[in-house]
Amino acid sequence: MLKNRPRMKAVLNLVGLSLLGALSAPAQTLSAGAESAVHVAQSGAEIKVFLPTNYQPTNKWPVVFFFPGTGGAASTALIRHYTDDRDFIIVGLSYVTPNTEQPLPDFVARESQNFRAARQWLAAHASTDEARVYLGGVSKGGWTTTQIGEAELPRLAGLIILLAGRGQSFSVAPGGAAYRGKAIYLGDGETDNNMRPARQATTFYQTRGAAVTFEEFPGLGHALPQEAPRLRTWLLAQNRYAARTAAAQAELGQWFSNAVATVRTAPGGGEKFRLALDLVRDPRLWYCQPPAGATAQQLLQEATARSPAKEEWAAETSYWGLLWKLTNLRTPEDLRAARDGFLQITVNYPATRWAKLAAEDHRILSDAYERTMATRASRTNITTHSGAGTRGIPVPRWSGNKIIFDR
């Protein structure tokens, strides 16, 4: 007995250490229909994890990782509201250093590590579908989503950007060809100061081949609505239709046939235009068979053949096109052309909603152009203009750990 005492002591020490570790480690069990707080040791951050009420570990589940707005804590509540607590694993992310000013590259690097650590932890503790992982955020979290998510796009199915635009320089496309086919949702309030960069982000992603869904929240500023129909539909599409099963395709076919019939039987004028436009911009259309897109576009063309829909649609398409040009300004002449383009909308389509928006853009760009020419005259060595730092052109910038929208 005495001869085995050192060995027995070692065994007891190991057992004691194991028990101590088990007692000191926080509970990390996840339950369907419940939100759990989890400490991720690799990043040092706390995340919130919600398993859907219909969660079964035998299935693979899509995941939404979500950044909060300024001063917000990790939470799953916002996305859960639009999914009715079903179909998605939701992960609320917190910021690693939310109250510390730091250079933008450092912020992006640390929050990228934060996101990757949370994703790695979740994959080890829940049944996730790694082909359907989405990154999103609201306000500051929306800007952060683009800063981090675009570089992560090869490993993501898409992005959710709420009340924000792109945090990247307009000419930068860190994801390269990875944008093509990615599902990207953007939503913002009608009168929010971030609406212009949200629209510019929409055109940026569209030109790079992403499957973009944009939603405007009528009557709201920097706020989310109780209901966002297109966001709900977008989430439904990512869960039900992204897998492209035979059953899903049959369901989509029936939906599309009904939608087409509704447009065709609608009275002419504004109602037909509204229904045709809703069909063209419905996120379910991305998962239909290719002829569906052409049919929807044909219906929109027919709906905009007569006034006032004709003028409204022409003004809108012109306005969006000019917004895209603003993200690619290179010379003062480009700036002047964009300014004049907005003025032309107000002249050609004065009774449209877009004429009012164009008037504001024309005012902003006129001021920017005058300042640019004054600078050019005083600095004869300046012959080009990037458009990204000129006073008057709306651009996002970082102040500490906050993104501020300059006008």
Distance CA 253, CA 65 (A): 31
Burial of 28 (0-12, 13-18, 19+ CB in 10 A): middle
Instruction: List the structure tokens of 162.
Output: 């709420």
Using alpha carbons only, what angle is made at residue 190 by residues 184 and 192, rounded to the nearest 5 degrees? 90
Q: Which domains does the chain have, with CATH numbers?
A: 28-243 (3.40.50.1820), 247-303 (no CATH), 309-406 (no CATH)
Distance CA 58, CA 255 (A): 29
Distance CA 22, CA 348 (A): 72
Q: Is 4 helix (H, G, I), strand (E, B) or coil?
A: helix
Q: Is 360 helix (H, G, I), strand (E, B) or coil?
A: helix
pLDDT per residue of the chain (407 residues) written in tens, 0 to 9: 334 444 434 333 433 333 333 333 344 689 999 999 999 988 888 999 999 999 999 999 999 999 999 989 999 999 999 999 999 999 999 998 766 667 788 888 999 999 999 999 999 999 999 999 999 999 999 999 999 999 999 999 999 999 999 987 655 666 568 899 999 999 999 999 999 999 999 999 998 999 999 999 999 999 999 999 999 999 999 999 988 889 999 999 999 999 999 999 998 879 999 999 999 999 999 999 889 999 999 999 999 999 999 999 999 999 999 988 887 788 899 999 999 999 999 999 999 999 999 999 999 999 999 988 888 777 654 333 333 333 333 344 444 433 333 43
Please spell the DSSP secondary structure of 96-122, one letter per residue. SSTTS---HHHHHHHHHHHHHHHHHHH
Distance CA 337, CA 133 (A): 41
Gyration radius (Cα) of the chain, Å: 25
Neighbouring C-beta atoms of residue 83, cutoff 10 Å: 22
Contact 70, 95 (CB under 8 A): no
Contact 187, 232 (CB under 8 A): no
Distance CA 74, CA 67 (A): 7
Q: State the pLDDT at residue 103.
A: 79
Q: State the pLDDT at residue 28.
A: 62
Instruction: List the structure tokens of 75.
Output: 């939470």
Q: State the pLDDT at residue 107.
A: 87
Q: State the pLDDT at residue 242.
A: 86
Using alpha carbons only, what angle is made at residue 184 by residues 309 and 236, rounded to the nearest 5 degrees? 85
N- to C-terminal Cα separation, the chain? 83
Instruction: List the structure tokens of 46.
Output: 């706390």
Q: State the pLDDT at residue 365.
A: 93
- The residue whose two tokens read 């250079």 is 103
